[in-house]
Structure 1
Amino acid sequence: MYNNPYPYSSDNKRYYTMNYYFQTKYHKKVAKVPLNAGFTCPNRDGTKGNHGCTFCSAKGSGDSILAFFQDLNTQYQQGLTRMRSKWPDCLGFAYFQAYSNTYADLDALKEIYDPFIKDPTVTGISIATRADCLDDEKIAYFDSLAKQKEVWIELGLQSIHEKTMQMCNRQHSTQIVEDTVNKLKQTSIKSCVHIMNSLPYETKEMMLETARWIANCKPDAIKIHMLHILQGTQMALQFFNEKFSLLSIEDYVDIVIRQLEVLPPDLIIERLTGDGMANDLIEPQWTIKKTIVLNEIDKEMVRRNTWQGKYYKK
């Protein structure tokens, strides 16, 4: 029996894990299967830029997709088979991960997403995209899907600080992310916002300000990432040229816990560290051992006698 003061947990975690959310809702393990639907991004095709965000890999954050260039059904089935080798009776959740997955006209989106909504073996869909790739018509369409099956929209924010994101070439404002989250709140769609710690020249206080912004905006979930310096990215060139500092594992554990403390206690934490592909990862090498990072966060939260939402103010 765990002596855990945090209410939304069935184990030693002192934050609201996605696993807890899924287990409570579906009473089974749910595995997200990453997919590449063949999209691009307005920040890659010349509409807003040609190289994407400076930290983004050539595969548009879809590096873990098993059959990247195969058709969607093959990708999903192969990915689900891999998941079920670890969790034999898990449910599958289709995760459209690579690039901006609403960056097309409505008819093209329907061709991609309707079959997954109709497939009884798919529990739900999660769609990673940019806030500037979601207009009211698309939101209405995804809302109609969300009335049939669970639908998540994931938005890349990374930091609320415009100077940082200009340096990272995000090519849209923080305000449009806030506006989009507020629109999604008026629908049946669930929203998740990504933030990133250790972006160049950001202080811990700046990272904490981003978390406080999330607490105020209050999407349904958050993903917290550590910056990965990856081979072939613009960020790698900047890193080699400027030698800006990166958080140590100890500093990362500290800032993540401080961020968790100011977030609402009922906000779902989808992840607390990212998955940089080992072959492409330049720094920080400590992120490869993801389990160690998560264990250190758990141990330090116990040591500090703290939990998600401890210092949350409405």
Structure 2
Amino acid sequence: MTGKRYIDYSSFIKYTFGERVQKVSLNIGFTCPNKDGTKGYGGCTYCNNSTFNPEYCSPQKTITEQLQEGIAFFSKKYKTQKYLAYFQAYTNTYDDIENLKALYEEALAVSGVIGLVLGTRPDCISEELIDYLSELSKKHFVSLEYGIESTNNATLKQVNRCHTFQETIEAFNLSRNKGIHLGGHIILGLPNETKQDALDHAFRLSQLPLDTLKIHHLQIVENSILGVKYKRSPEHFKLFEMKAYIKFVSEFITYLRPDIVIERFISEAPRDLLIAPDWGGFKNFEVVAKIDKYLADNNMFQGQNF
């Protein structure tokens, strides 16, 4: 037993694989339909993909090169482990299916790689792709990680997601019961969302066939549309301070379905790109420890109010 008051990702990995498994991030040079003009321009208002690309990730390198460099980096710390090829930057199902197959299969051919994690959008999948991934899942671990971001259509429109929550529901329905692990990503504190709006996310997310969920607070970063707006009018933004976020996210998970694996509570943007909020340089694990303590001190746990 971990003593956690929620289903944590490390325990899920250990239970699923029986050993340590590390994601290795990839950047293949994809784009998004709200950046290339298919649906819109400029991308999501909060987004700067540089905030989560490790140094070894470069679209100028092949998938094999990126994976081998990533594996070499992580193997210095842990000698015995397996790896998941994490197609992370931008929308990693947004291409011709034959091109996608070649990319995914190149990744799976690298020694030590036992599966795929594909970051994508709900409006960038097809039945043909799901059927292909379903076949892959018979031999490999396959995860689709959908950027949900909000369950509120007004918010999705405001941050230029260029898709609706109904499209998210449809994507999950298309993907369910196919042998594919289904993940989601939600941002708490997006512009103009009230506390009740944010708590409603927990209810709506719990209706989806989610296996894992990544949660984090809104961060304003350089080279994003929100970054420009914040510098002009910071008074228009209500961002989470650390103590308030710890209290809120603890309450949030009490409304979440109790069997959803919580993969992440926060995201840590690089200090040179972060504009606000400034939490004093606390690391992810330090904030998670504070969340664990708050849950224990207040006798709160995942699914308590579900």
1:78 aligned residue (63, 69, 72): 69
* Partner residue, 1:206: 197
User: What letter corresponds to residue 53 of structure 2 in structure 1?
Assistant: D
**How does 1:224-243 map onto structure 2 within 5 Å?**
224-243=215-234
What TM-score, normalized to structure 2? 0.94
* Partner residue, 2:249: 256
**Preserved CA contact (<8 Å) 1:276 1:288:** no
Distance in 1 (CA, whole Å) between partners of 2:253 and 2:272 is: 30
Distance in 1 (CA, whole Å) between partners of 2:79 and 2:224 is: 37
* Partner residue, 1:176: 167
**Preserved CA contact (<8 Å) 1:67 1:75:** yes
* Partner residue, 2:239: 246
* Partner residue, 1:304: 298
| Deviations, residues 178-225 of structure 1 (Å, cap 9, x unaligned) | 111111113111111100011112122111111111112231111001
* Partner residue, 1:189: 180
Distance in 1 (CA, whole Å) between partners of 2:14 and 2:264 is: 16
Question: What 5-or-longer segments of structure 2 have no aligned partner?
Answer: none
The Cα shift of 1:240 comes to 2.3
**How does 1:57-72 map onto structure 2 within 5 Å?**
57-59=48-50, 62-69=52-59, 70-72=61-63
* Partner residue, 1:166: 157
**Preserved CA contact (<8 Å) 2:26 2:58:** yes
Runs of at least 4 residues off by over 6 Å: none
Distance in 2 (CA, whole Å) between partners of 1:272 and 1:80 is: 25
Equivalent pairs counted in the alignment come to 302
**Preserved CA contact (<8 Å) 2:64 2:106:** no
**Preserved CA contact (<8 Å) 2:88 2:119:** yes
Distance in 2 (CA, whole Å) between partners of 1:180 and 1:250 is: 35
2:47 aligned residue (40, 56, 76): 56
The Cα shift of 1:119 comes to 4.2
Distance in 1 (CA, whole Å) between partners of 2:81 and 2:248 is: 33
1:121 aligned residue (100, 112, 126): 112
1:13 aligned residue (1, 4, 16): 4
Does residue 295 (structure 1) correspond to residue 285 (structure 2)? The answer is no
Secondary structure of the structure 1 residue equivalent to 2:279 = helix
Secondary structure of the structure 1 residue equivalent to 2:98 = helix
User: What letter corresponds to residue 195 of structure 1 in structure 2?
Assistant: I
| Deviations, residues 53-97 of structure 1 (Å, cap 9, x unaligned) | 0111054x6423523232111111111222222322221111100
Does residue 278 (structure 1) correspond to residue 271 (structure 2)? The answer is yes
* Partner residue, 1:31: 22
User: What letter corresponds to residue 138 of structure 1 in structure 2?
Assistant: L
Question: What 5-or-longer segments of structure 1 have no aligned partner?
Answer: 1-9
**Preserved CA contact (<8 Å) 2:8 2:262:** yes
Further displaced range: 20-29 or 99-108? 20-29
Does residue 140 (structure 1) correspond to residue 134 (structure 2)? The answer is no
Secondary structure of the structure 2 residue equivalent to 1:86 = coil
Task: Label 1:204 to 1:64 Cα distance change in 2 as closer, same or farther (>3 A).
Answer: farther
Distance in 1 (CA, whole Å) between partners of 2:143 and 2:44 is: 22
| Deviations, residues 275-302 of structure 1 (Å, cap 9, x unaligned) | 3111101111217422221111000010
Further displaced range: 72-81 or 116-125? 116-125
2:210 aligned residue (204, 214, 219): 219
Superposed CA RMSD in Å reads 1.6
User: What letter corresponds to residue 304 of structure 1 in structure 2?
Assistant: N
Task: Label 1:257 to 1:144 Cα distance change in 2 as closer, same or farther (>3 A).
Answer: same
User: What letter corresponds to residue 181 of structure 2 in structure 1?
Assistant: K
Secondary structure of the structure 2 residue equivalent to 1:20 = helix
Distance in 2 (CA, whole Å) between partners of 1:162 and 1:176 is: 10
What TM-score, normalized to structure 1? 0.92
Identity %: 32
**Preserved CA contact (<8 Å) 2:27 2:53:** no
Does residue 269 (structure 1) correspond to residue 262 (structure 2)? The answer is yes
Task: Label 1:170 to 1:279 Cα distance change in 2 as closer, same or farther (>3 A).
Answer: same
* Partner residue, 1:3: none
1:151 aligned residue (139, 142, 146): 142
* Partner residue, 2:100: 109
Distance in 2 (CA, whole Å) between partners of 1:145 and 1:120 is: 17
